[in-house]
Amino acid sequence: MDRLSVEASPGLLPEFLAQRALIGPGRDAIIAGRTRWSFSDLYAASVETAEWLASLGVGPGDRVAALLPNGPGYAAIVHAMARLDATLAPLNTRLTAFELDALLEEVDARVLVYGGACDAIARALGTTTPVVETLRLADDGGDPALPQATNVPLVDLSAVHTIVHTSGTTGRSKGAMLTYGNHFWSAVGSVLNLGLRDDDRWLAVLPFFHVGGLSILMRSVIYGIPVVVHESFDPAAANRAIDEEQVTIVSVVSIMLQRMLDERGLRPYPETFRCALLGGGPAPRGLLEECRRRGVPVVQTYGLTETASQVVTLAPQDAVRELGSAGKPLFPAQVRIEADGGDAAVDQVGEIVVRGPMVTPGYFHRPEATAQALSDGWLHTGDLGYLDADGYLYVVDRRDDLIIRGGENVYPAEVESAILTHPAVAEAGVVGVADARWGQSPLAFVVLRPAMEAGAEEVISFCSERLARYKVPVAVRFVDALPRTAAGKLRRGALRDTTDG
Amino acid sequence: MDRLSVEASPGLLPEFLAQRALIGPGRDAIIAGRTRWSFSDLYAASVETAEWLASLGVGPGDRVAALLPNGPGYAAIVHAMARLDATLAPLNTRLTAFELDALLEEVDARVLVYGGACDAIARALGTTTPVVETLRLADDGGDPALPQATNVPLVDLSAVHTIVHTSGTTGRSKGAMLTYGNHFWSAVGSVLNLGLRDDDRWLAVLPFFHVGGLSILMRSVIYGIPVVVHESFDPAAANRAIDEEQVTIVSVVSIMLQRMLDERGLRPYPETFRCALLGGGPAPRGLLEECRRRGVPVVQTYGLTETASQVVTLAPQDAVRELGSAGKPLFPAQVRIEADGGDAAVDQVGEIVVRGPMVTPGYFHRPEATAQALSDGWLHTGDLGYLDADGYLYVVDRRDDLIIRGGENVYPAEVESAILTHPAVAEAGVVGVADARWGQSPLAFVVLRPAMEAGAEEVISFCSERLARYKVPVAVRFVDALPRTAAGKLRRGALRDTTDG
């Protein structure tokens, strides 16, 4: 007799926001400046937004493109999708009109909704998609009938909620389809690692058009906790939110966390602050050590647009012991390292491959890219890393950023991490340049701290004391700023473009 | 165009215990007296148990019946099932040989495993099923190779993990099939309501052969927290575990919680104790008020074997304000009240009907009972309750226990709750007896507190001051004990059998 099993459940759940508004209507959902919405306010705002979008012709199966800064209205649009059976395509507000026109053509949206400081660029678009300024919502989100126990609709976990374009640190941007299930499982995976407290409040300084910000909006509704929304990242404002708004968790990338620490000086954080969830690439060792020294509760994570955010996260209990590791797979996830066409050995660097119910079913209208990335449910991430003997993941770099020098692998993140420990250095970026003798060589771009000085030779000699000889940059260029994505991730491709190499 | 959706995910997750042993091998899993198993110990014990069961002929699709008291070995058997693709049928250790023989025939088990004090009854069985004493495990569970990132097996969420017989307060017991998905979603629903802390420890005083105890074993592995195991309920030992083992959550039924409070006297509980999860039927008002007065963090819940435990639970934030309510549906669940063939009005009593991914797919080999209970995913619970205007559920009683007196509904739980506020009363049970004039009348069974006295007339007059006239018992019988299930639930059917009525 075969294993006893029954027909699989159809993968339906009560619609997230309606259910949350039924369960805890009065609890805080959104805190943004003086705006403070409960879950019933947010529900009301999402209903009003859905009705408005329907009046613009949006119906089941349509895409809605959004080009606006973080704010309560963004949350209303995100949760209006379930009421329309539509899919949201959040667009990066830093893109050019040319880039946005290309994305709009790709997603074939029924309407582009813009707001805030995006009106100038929205007006400059050449797209045939109707471009509409977003609805102005009442301060309390309006007042429709609240959901009752009997009329919370079901949502199909396999329906596509969002198409999120990869942050595009390399190559052409692709739109990862994220289902309701992807978002839900991501939130479940996170809660089974980070836990959940009555008084949790998650600070959103990452943009909602990236998965790092968007996923906070989903967790807020799934967990029943408020999200404290900042329109953009400001280190002083982020620190103030921790002090004054009792923020307990903040999602950041390295450069943001470093700026928060610099801004704060030596004043300790309050006990209520329990997690700085640090993603967006390998973290500089110096930053992690500074956090440990100062008692900042940093928790490293590894995530991708294609996994609806975190997929591997260090448990808070391991944060100090396993410094530098991105941790273990979240409970519903699996991770492997592929090298030479098979599983890598312990400590052997290879491509990070992940699987689980938070992994995207594919890229929108890009079947070849989908087939290339996904096989048997495993997502090939294009990131390089290794698993140690205890199963902890260490992310070393993007595969595309790898520098191969005379047959030796040089990981830019490692070189940057070394340069960043120099007291005069604020930011560092390393890329490969063509080298007649060695194939490629590392070149460093450095931003100095205000009123600090250091010459190229000093930086190179500093590296020589810390790195194997083949990893030491052959040259250093001093610049005023490094190219970064809206989420703060270093764009090494843009740096490479400046080297003609 | 239809809603954008993709092929549903196949409903696979990493096998729970292997994944937990990979993620947090060294964290505490089981604390039982001097035995203290980490998740890697528990994993090792489950592997050893699976190998032993396989040597007895257990293979995919087989049922394994278990008849033993709470202990670490029980957890090893529960988690061995995934390694065998087999299904566990935990049996109630209080049943007679006659009852057990009938259940064994029904579940058609490959083997019955017994242990502890169950050896006498196991030897008295007439079953043709092989009866085997359970494996004696090493104190640390043995030492097999731990799971690696690459070899955690997947588990199909639609596979049946357990067949749990309903506690049988009324009618013939039925075996509810609980899938891996039922257990997982139950745990997820609970965590999204009660939260999860690093230092959580769940006390198991309910038997593992009931869903109230079994679900603690599943949550322990899914959350990565220890379960503190007591072989049976002892109020002093439970209180000690809260003080000395830093238990944060305990699952109890009313009679257990009352005995814990009585045993403790006025000494307050430590801050670490954050939740007394109170299920097993409507809670007496007096008990809830005593908890409020004494600051005991009681959280009412409504659950069933068929829902893998909780399905409606009061949020801790609402525990004081909504005293007496079982709360709101868990995040993945829905609840309705059916009356007169449709949805009941607000505050109207009817049958409680629930839906969600924690609901059983049906009863083992009982297609008619399954068809009767389940329709379109909705489970008809046979319990009576109502939803108030804010959507809070109030459970009034079992439908089968309802007393109809001259056309008026008398809910035994309400009458018991009133009697229990009498200072001399320790326990109370109310059933209907035939009444020539009114059809039925309430009859009370009362257990007095040690060294306390009260006559039948005093109890009746006490009730008259607190209840409408038609609800007042017509007679009172004083007894030494009330019949209860192993989980501590009152067996009104057994009381009725003693009345000849």
Model confidence pLDDT, tens digit, residues B12-61: 999 999 999 999 999 999 999 999 999 999 999 999 999 999 999 999 99
Using an 8 Å CB-CB cutoff, list chain B residues near A315. Answer: 23-24
Q: What is the ipTM of this complex?
A: 0.89
In this model, does residue A156 exceed pLDDT 60?
Answer: yes
Phi and psi (nearest 5°) for A200? -65, 140
Instruction: Show the tokens assigned to A450.
Output: 């205000």
Q: Identify the sign of the CA torsion B421, B422, B425, B428.
A: negative
Inter-chain touch A11–B14, beta carbons under 8 Å: no
pLDDT band at A469 (very low <50, low <70, confident <90, very high): confident
Q: A93 near A68, Cβ under 8 Å?
A: yes
Top residue of B1, B3, B85, B346 to mutate, by most chain A CBs within 10 Å, is B3
Q: A327 near A314, Cβ under 8 Å?
A: yes
pLDDT band at A167 (very low <50, low <70, confident <90, very high): low
- CA distance linking residue A223 with residue B117, whole number of Å: 43
- CA distance linking residue A188 with residue B191, whole number of Å: 9
Query: Of B176, B195, B207, B200, whose CA–CA distance to B379 is shortest?
Result: B176
Q: What average pLDDT is seen over chain B?
A: 91
Taking only the tens place, the pLDDT of each residue in A194-244 is 999 999 999 999 999 999 999 999 999 999 999 999 999 999 999 999 999
Q: What is the end-to-end Cα distance of chain B in Å, rounded?
A: 64
In this model, does residue A453 exceed pLDDT 70?
Answer: yes
Q: What is the β-pairing status of strands B227-229 and B275-279?
A: unpaired
Please list the residues that pair with B391 across neighbouring strands: none
Query: Of A426, A428, A406, whose CA–CA distance to A417 is shortest?
Result: A428
The full DSSP string for B250-266 is: EEEEHHHHHHHHHHHTT
Amino acid identity of residue B58, one-letter, is V
In this model, does residue A2 exceed pLDDT 70?
Answer: no
Q: What is the mean pLDDT of residues A62-82?
A: 97
Q: What is the pLDDT of residue B345?
A: 95
In A436-501, the DSSP E strands lie at: 439-448, 475-478
CB of B87 less than 8 A from some CB of A? yes
In this model, does residue A370 exceed pLDDT 60?
Answer: yes
* Minimal Cβ distance to A8: which of B4, B158, B316: B158
- CA distance linking residue B250 with residue B202, whole number of Å: 6
Q: B487 near B167, Cβ under 8 Å?
A: yes
Top residue of A2, A3, A328 to mutate, by most chain B CBs within 10 Å, is A3
Question: Poorest-confidence range of A310-324, B153-167, B219-233, B247-261?
Answer: A310-324
Collapse the DSSP code of A154 into the 3-class scheme (helix H, G, I; strand E, B; otherwise coil) and give the result: strand
Q: What is the mean pLDDT of residues B446-474?
A: 91
Nearest-Cα residue of chain B relative to residue A357: B9
In this model, does residue B73 exceed pLDDT 70?
Answer: yes
Taking only the tens place, the pLDDT of each residue in B273-327 is 999 999 987 888 899 999 999 999 999 999 999 999 999 999 887 877 788 899 9
Q: What is the pLDDT of residue A5?
A: 60
Output the CA–CA distances (angstroms, integers) from residue B66 to B98, B115, B135, B392, in the order listed: 16, 9, 12, 38
- CA distance linking residue A98 with residue A115, whole number of Å: 19
Inter-chain touch A334–B152, beta carbons under 8 Å: yes
- CA distance linking residue B367 with residue B161, whole number of Å: 19
Query: Of A142, A152, A146, A151, whose CA–CA distance to A45 is shortest?
Result: A142
Q: A445 near A495, Cβ under 8 Å?
A: yes
Q: What is the mean pLDDT of residues A459-463?
A: 94
Query: Of B281, B220, B217, whose CA–CA distance to B417 is shortest?
Result: B281
Inter-chain touch B179–A5, beta carbons under 8 Å: yes
- CA distance linking residue B71 with residue B69, whole number of Å: 6
Q: Identify the sign of the CA torsion B49, B55, B59, B63.
A: negative
H-helix or E-strand containing B156? strand B154-156
Instruction: Show the tokens assigned to B498.
Output: 């003693």
Inter-chain touch B331–A9, beta carbons under 8 Å: no
In this model, does residue B180 exceed pLDDT 50?
Answer: yes
Counting residues of chain A whose pLDDT is more than 90, the rounded percentage is 75
Inter-chain touch A14–B152, beta carbons under 8 Å: no
- CA distance linking residue A310 with residue A299, whole number of Å: 11
Q: A315 near B23, Cβ under 8 Å?
A: yes
pTM, whole model, 2 decimals? 0.90
| A425–chain B nearest CA distance, Å | 37
Instruction: Please write down the HEC assignment for all residues of A5-30.
Output: ECCCCCCEEECHHHHHHHHCCCCEEE
In this model, does residue B440 exceed pLDDT 90?
Answer: no
Q: What is the pLDDT of residue B169?
A: 47
- CA distance linking residue A280 with residue A398, whole number of Å: 11
Interface of A with B in 287-316 (CB under 8 A): 315-316
In this model, does residue A168 exceed pLDDT 60?
Answer: no
Which residue intervals of A245-395 are DSSP H helices? 254-264, 285-294, 367-373
Q: What is the pLDDT of residue A8?
A: 47
Q: What average pLDDT is seen over chain A?
A: 91
- CA distance linking residue B18 with residue A391, whole number of Å: 13
Q: What is the pLDDT of residue B501?
A: 46
Q: What is the pLDDT of residue A172?
A: 64
Q: Identify the sign of the CA torsion A153, A210, A222, A190.
A: positive
pLDDT band at A284 (very low <50, low <70, confident <90, very high): confident
In this model, does residue B138 exceed pLDDT 90?
Answer: no
Collapse the DSSP code of B249 into the 3-class scheme (helix H, G, I; strand E, B; otherwise coil) and give the result: strand
Higher pLDDT, A352 or B4: A352
Output the CA–CA distances (angstroms, integers) from residue A246 to A228, A250, A322, A420, A478, in the order listed: 10, 11, 28, 31, 39
Compute, in degrees rounded to 10, the torsion defined by CA atoms B444, B447, B451, B455.
10
- CA distance linking residue A194 with residue B252, whole number of Å: 27
Nearest-Cα residue of chain B relative to residue A363: B6
Instruction: Show the tokens assigned to B291.
Output: 């908890």
Please list the residues that pair with A304 across neighbouring strands: A309
Interface of A with B in 356-395 (CB under 8 A): 356-357, 361-362, 387, 391
Instruction: Show the tokens assigned to B95.
Output: 């049943």
Using an 8 Å CB-CB cutoff, list chain A residues near B3. Answer: 60-61, 85, 156, 159
Amino acid identity of residue A8, one-letter, is A
Q: What is the pLDDT of residue A498?
A: 85
- CA distance linking residue A268 with residue A16, whole number of Å: 37
Q: For chain A, list the domains and their CATH numbers.
A: 13-328 (3.40.50.12780), 402-497 (3.30.300.30)
Taking only the tens place, the pLDDT of each residue in A336-365 is 999 988 999 999 999 999 999 999 999 999
Using an 8 Å CB-CB cutoff, list chain A residues near B61. Answer: 1-4
